[in-house]
Each structure stands twice: as structure tokens, then as C-alpha cells.
């Protein structure tokens, strides 16, 4: 029993010394010098030594040991949870100015397929709904069915929201859109089936509603409601679908790898693009929560959507994007 106790104490002291060593390096050289494994170990040891401190305070441990552990835990807490440094913020900036648009451009075959599925299903539903608005009800949620009639959008367009409701509405829209995007993304792990379902469902809904509005001639009020946020939001859904299709392709055509290995290889790039695309959903939510209900003219609202779309494309593919890496864009999709 004594031997086991001594062994346990020795292991705990090794953890304390290892944590102290990592903290010394982090404080003298900076966190950037630690490897990913060392950073994970630092976080793990912080939690473990915090537990040791709690146990020491509840027992009969020597006061000097408690004081030492308390100082160690304070140091590790300040290191693990400290405010990001300039270098860390610089890496965040590099992600959005370089990594995200570059990795997105490398996914162009999947973006193309996603866009064809989404906008193709939208055009299909538009044609059917335009010819017979009753068919539009097959594609849209029941809560929007009231808009499928002459003047239907006026119920929404002429009832601006109180200013106090704009922020909660924006938060709700962000959450909903991000959920749709992540469903399209994560669905790729099931061979892309859920991704295709999400793209088809949203494409049919947009097309069905748009076709009915054109049938009744309520084009301007309708587009003043959906274009401000819709340009960014719909493209974000397409990109999320492309990320899901990339994962799905790895499952369907893993090549010389096992499906699990192919999925692990495809996941980092797809996840990085999805992370950057979340910002697009946030932007769309802000526009829909603050611009769409604002008491400004319909052409001004539509102008916001057009300008946001132009800036988005310029950032991702145009002059605002960094140049591609050598050979980028010529690689076939690999699984």
C-alpha cells in the first residue's frame, strides 16, 4: 500500500514538474514555439494539476505544497486562457485573407456541382410554381404559404419590425442559417446524401416561392425582402454544400486509401472552408436582422444585396483574393 502511495505521489510530482517546464518555455519563448502536442499537453496538465490542488486543499497536505500548486495553477490558467497575442491575431487575419479563399478556390469542382444542384432545383421549382402557384406550396414551409397569393409579400414588407426586435431576429437567423450550412457540411460524411438533400430542399423552396411571386407580379416587394441577405446567404449554403460533397467524395471514391483515411485527409480543407463560410452566415444574419426590416426604399435594400455579393465574390475569387499557389486549380479531386 505504501509503495502504491509513493508511486502515485511520484507521478503527481512528475506532472507538476512537466507543467512548470512547459510554462517556463511558454513564458520565455512564447506559445508559438510549442508544438501542437505540447499545447494539448499543457491544457491537459492544467486540468490535472487543478484537480491535485483541490484534493490538497481538502486533505492534510503541507501548506507549502498547496502554495506551490496554487501558484502553478494560476500560471497555467493565465497561459491557457490568456487573451490572444498579436501573433495569434495575425494568424487569424492570415486565415481570412489567404488560407480561406485559397482553400475555397481549390474546391471549385465541388462548388460547381453544389451550385448546379442548388440553382438547378431552384429553376425547376420556379418554372413549376410560375405556371401554377399551387405547386409552389409543395416546396415551401407552411409559414410562408400566405405569401403565395396576389399582394402576399405586402403582409411582410409593410410591417416593419420594432427596432428592439432586430438584434434578437438577427441572432435567430444566424443560428438557423449556420445550422442549415452545417447540416449540408456534416452530411457529406454519409456519402453526400444529406448534403444533396439540404441543397435540394433549400433550392426548391427558393425557386417555388420566387416562381409564385413572379406569377402574381409581386416582384419588387419580394426581392426587397430576400435579396439584401439572400445573395450572401444562398452562396454560403452552396459553399457549405461543396464542403459536404468533398467529404462525400472521399467516402464514395477513397482511391488507394480506406474510406476512413480518405475522409481524414479531406476533412481539414473542407472544415477550414466551412469555418470561413460561417462568417458569411453571420453577415447574412446581420443584414437580414438590420437592413431588411429597415424603413428604407426597396431599391436601396436590393442595392445592399448586390454590393455585398460583389464584395463577396471579389474577396473569394477576384482582385481582393490572394494569388493561387503554383498549380492550384489544376488538381483533380482526390479521395
Confirm whether 321 is domain-assigned. Answer: no
Q: What pLDDT sits at residue 168?
A: 58
Confirm whether 328 is domain-assigned. Answer: no
The reply to whether 41 and 160 lie within a common domain is no
Separation between Cα atoms, residue 145 and residue 325, nearest integer Å: 48
CA atoms within 13 A on the CB side of 20: 11
Confirm whether 199 is domain-assigned. Answer: yes
> Final residue of a domain: which of 57, 82, 107?
82
The reply to whether 137 and 204 lie within a common domain is yes
The reply to whether 308 and 170 lie within a common domain is yes
The reply to whether 275 and 180 lie within a common domain is yes
Confirm whether 60 is domain-assigned. Answer: yes
Confirm whether 28 is domain-assigned. Answer: yes
Separation between Cα atoms, residue 132 and residue 319, nearest integer Å: 43
Q: With both helix axes pointing from N to C terminus, report the angle between 63-80 and 36-58 in degrees, rounded to the nearest 10.
A: 150
Mean pLDDT by 10 residues, the chain (335 residues): 50 85 83 76 86 80 82 84 65 84 92 95 92 80 62 47 50 68 88 91 87 81 85 93 94 89 90 91 86 86 93 84 48 43
Q: What pLDDT sits at residue 87?
A: 60
The reply to whether 66 and 113 lie within a common domain is no
Separation between Cα atoms, residue 280 and residue 274, nearest integer Å: 10
Confirm whether 200 is domain-assigned. Answer: yes
Q: Which helix (H) or strand (E) holds 271?
A: helix 259-290
Task: Name which of 193, 308, 287, 282 is nearest 241 in CA terms.
Answer: 193
Separation between Cα atoms, residue 238 and residue 29, nearest integer Å: 43
Confirm whether 331 is domain-assigned. Answer: no
Task: Name which of 44, 38, 35 is nearest 21 in CA terms.
Answer: 38
Report whether 283 contacts 231 (CB < 8 A): no
Helix, strand, or coil here: 114? helix
**Number of domain units in the chain:** 2
The reply to whether 125 and 223 lie within a common domain is yes
The reply to whether 106 and 56 lie within a common domain is no
Report whether 260 contacts 251 (CB < 8 A): no
- Separation in Å, CA 44 to CA 23, 50, 73, 295: 13, 10, 12, 52
End-to-end CA distance of the chain: 55
The reply to whether 73 and 193 lie within a common domain is no
Separation between Cα atoms, residue 225 and residue 211, nearest integer Å: 15
- Separation in Å, CA 225 to CA 55, 154, 202, 214, 296: 59, 10, 17, 14, 12
Q: Tally Cβ neighbours within 10 Å of residue 97.
A: 14
The reply to whether 30 and 154 lie within a common domain is no
Q: With both helix axes pointing from N to C terminus, report the angle between 259-290 and 219-252 in degrees, rounded to the nearest 10.
A: 170
Question: Which residues, in sequence order, are CB contacts of 234 under 8 Å at separation 6+?
Answer: 118, 202, 206
The reply to whether 129 and 50 lie within a common domain is no
**Helix residue ranges, H only, 137-217:** 154-157, 166-186, 193-216
Q: What pLDDT sits at residue 118?
A: 94
Report whether 180 contacts 198 (CB < 8 A): yes
Domain containing residue 289: 95-316
Amino acid at each position: 500500500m505504501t509503495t502504491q502511495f509513493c508511486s502515485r505521489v511520484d507521478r503527481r510530482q512528475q506532472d507538476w514538474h512537466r507543467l512548470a517546464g512547459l510554462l517556463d518555455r511558454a513564458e520565455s519563448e512564447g506559445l508559438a514555439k510549442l508544438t501542437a502536442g505540447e499545447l494539448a499537453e499543457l491544457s491537459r496538465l492544467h486540468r490535472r494539476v487543478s484537480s491535485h490542488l483541490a484534493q490538497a486543499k481538502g486533505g492534510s497536505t503541507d501548506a507549502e505544497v498547496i502554495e506551490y500548486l496554487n501558484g502553478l495553477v494560476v500560471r497555467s490558467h493565465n497561459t491557457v486562457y490568456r487573451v490572444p497575442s498579436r501573433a495569434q491575431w495575425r494568424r487569424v487575419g492570415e486565415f481570412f485573407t489567404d488560407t480561406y479563399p485559397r482553400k475555397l478556390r481549390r474546391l471549385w469542382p465541388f462548388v460547381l456541382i453544389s451550385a448546379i444542384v442548388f440553382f438547378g432545383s431552384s429553376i425547376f421549382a420556379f418554372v413549376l410554381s410560375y405556371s401554377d402557384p399551387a405547386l409552389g406550396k409543395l416546396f415551401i414551409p407552411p409559414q410562408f404559404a400566405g405569401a403565395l397569393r396576389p399582394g402576399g409579400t405586402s403582409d411582410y414588407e409593410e410591417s416593419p419590425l420594432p427596432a428592439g426586435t432586430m438584434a434578437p431576429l438577427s441572432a435567430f437567423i444566424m443560428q438557423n442559417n449556420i445550422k442549415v450550412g452545417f447540416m449540408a457540411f456534416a452530411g457529406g460524411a454519409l456519402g453526400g446524401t444529406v448534403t444533396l438533400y439540404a441543397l435540394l430542399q433549400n433550392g426548391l423552396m427558393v425557386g417555388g416561392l420566387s416562381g409564385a411571386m413572379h406569377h402574381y407580379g409581386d416582384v419588387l416587394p419580394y426581392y426587397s425582402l430576400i435579396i439584401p441577405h439572400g445573395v450572401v446567404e444562398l452562396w454560403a449554403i452552396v459553399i457549405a454544400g461543396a464542403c459536404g460533397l468533398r467529404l462525400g467524395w472521399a467516402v464514395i471514391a477513397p482511391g488507394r486509401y480506406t474510406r476512413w483515411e480518405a475522409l481524414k485527409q479531406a476533412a481539414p480543407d473542407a472544415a477550414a472552408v466551412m469555418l470561413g463560410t460561417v462568417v458569411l452566415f453571420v453577415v447574412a444574419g446581420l443584414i437580414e436582422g438590420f437592413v431588411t426590416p429597415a424603413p428604407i426604399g426597396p431599391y436601396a435594400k436590393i442595392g445592399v444585396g448586390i454590393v455585398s455579393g460583389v464584395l463577396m465574390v471579389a474577396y473569394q475569387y477576384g482582385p481582393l483574393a490572394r494569388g493561387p499557389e503554383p498549380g492550384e486549380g489544376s488538381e483533380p479531386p482526390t479521395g
